[in-house]
Amino acid sequence: MKILKLGQMLGGSNAPSASFENLYSLEFDGSNYVQFLDKDVFTINDSGANRGMTWSAWIRPDASNKTILSKYDGLGKEWILKVGKGDRLELQIFGNDSNGINQNIVTDIVNLTGTGWHHVAVTYNLGSTSSSFVAFVDGVPYSLALGNATYASTGTWSASINTNAKMALANSSYVGRIDEVAIFDNALHGSVIASIYNSGVPNDISGLDYLIGWWRNGDPTGTGAYPTIVDQSSNSNDGTMTGMASGDIVTDVP
């Protein structure tokens, strides 16, 4: 008999679709990662539609100050989503391929490390002020306006530009597990973030608008997926497990 988690009421609005199952996640040891090709769509506002961007992931980190997802390397500086110092969620974006031009939001005290699975997300509306960002941890919003996050900027803001940096999941630093990662070409409304969090139960997000990529980190085929992490959106932005084995696709999930 299947035991339903809180929020999975039979026949209720949070019930998963009949065909949707979340059975696998990826485990990282601080020396491995998932590498993606340098695709323009991973750059903020590549579409030119001026909708903004949202990053979403389920994480179970074992160490702080570690990268969750990034488009930042020796070839370019665009953005980094990470478990920052003090176990707080942080998004840092860089303007004009420069470390000297950046903005970041950091949630107030949220102990992400060693406390089980959490859903994290950050929305960015392309602006250059504190009101341009809202972070979410387990469906709870964090922003400077709400008084539960800090915002900082360096330099005179100039929009992020497309570089040759490759996107990476974990980026040789993250220790722990990551599941159900998604990027949207839109600053999602809080109600949509709440639907993704779904009271702590990952669900099918394939029908959401402006989905750039959705990486289920092993689902639906388990170790048979190795070494490819298939983009489950319609955009074919697949990633490659790098420095990893098929055994790094594990059955510990949110």
pLDDT attached to residue 172: 79
In a domain, 219, yes or no: yes
Does 17 fall in a domain?
A: no
Q: In DSSP terms, which residues pair with 167 in a beta bridge? A: 71
pLDDT at 206 over 70: yes
Task: Establish if 15 belongs to a structural domain.
Answer: no
pLDDT tens-digit series, residues 29-45 = 999 999 998 899 999 99
End-to-end Cα distance, the chain: 18
pLDDT above 90 as % of the chain: 87
In whole angstroms, give the CA distance from residue 215 to residue 249. Answer: 13
Any domain includes 35: yes
User: In angstroms, rounded to a whole number, what is the distance separating the alpha carbons of residues 52 and 217?
Assistant: 25
pLDDT at 5 over 60: no
Q: What is the DSSP string of 200-220?
A: G-----TTSTTEEEEE-TTTT
Q: Does the residue 19 lie in any domain? A: no
Domain count, the chain: 1
**Are 207 and 214 within 8 A, CB to CB?**
no
pLDDT for 109 equals 86
pLDDT computed for residue 84 by the predictor: 92
Does residue 13 register a pLDDT over 70?
no
Establish if 78 belongs to a structural domain: yes
- Radius of gyration for the chain, computed over Cα atoms and rounded to the nearest angstrom: 17
Name the residue type at position 231: D
Q: What is the pLDDT of residue 136?
A: 98
| Residues in Cβ contact with 205 at an 8 Å cutoff, skipping those fewer than 6 apart | 182, 196, 211, 214
Q: Is the pLDDT of residue 46 over 50?
A: yes
Query: Would the pLDDT of 225 be above 70?
Result: yes
pLDDT on residue 18: 54
Beta strand 133-137 pairing with 76-83? unpaired
The answer to whether residue 151 is domain-embedded is yes
Does a structural domain hold residue 153? yes
Domain residues for the domain of 148 are: 25-250
The reported pLDDT for the residue numbered 85 is 87
Taking 80 as the threshold, does the pLDDT of residue 15 lie above it? no
Kindly report the average pLDDT of the chain as a whole number: 92
Buried b (16+ CB within 10 A) or exposed e, 232-252: bbeeebebebbebeeebbbee
pLDDT range class, residue 8, cuts 50, 70, 90: very low
Burial of 109 (0-12, 13-18, 19+ CB in 10 A): exposed
69: CATH: 2.60.120.200
Q: For 99-112, how does the pLDDT look when each residue is reduced to its tens digit (9 = 90+)?
A: 999 999 999 988 99
Contacts of 191-194 with CB under 8 Å at 24 or more apart are: 193/54, 193/56, 193/121, 193/123, 193/136, 193/139, 193/141, 194/139
pLDDT digits (tens, 9 = 90+) for 110-124: 899 999 999 999 999
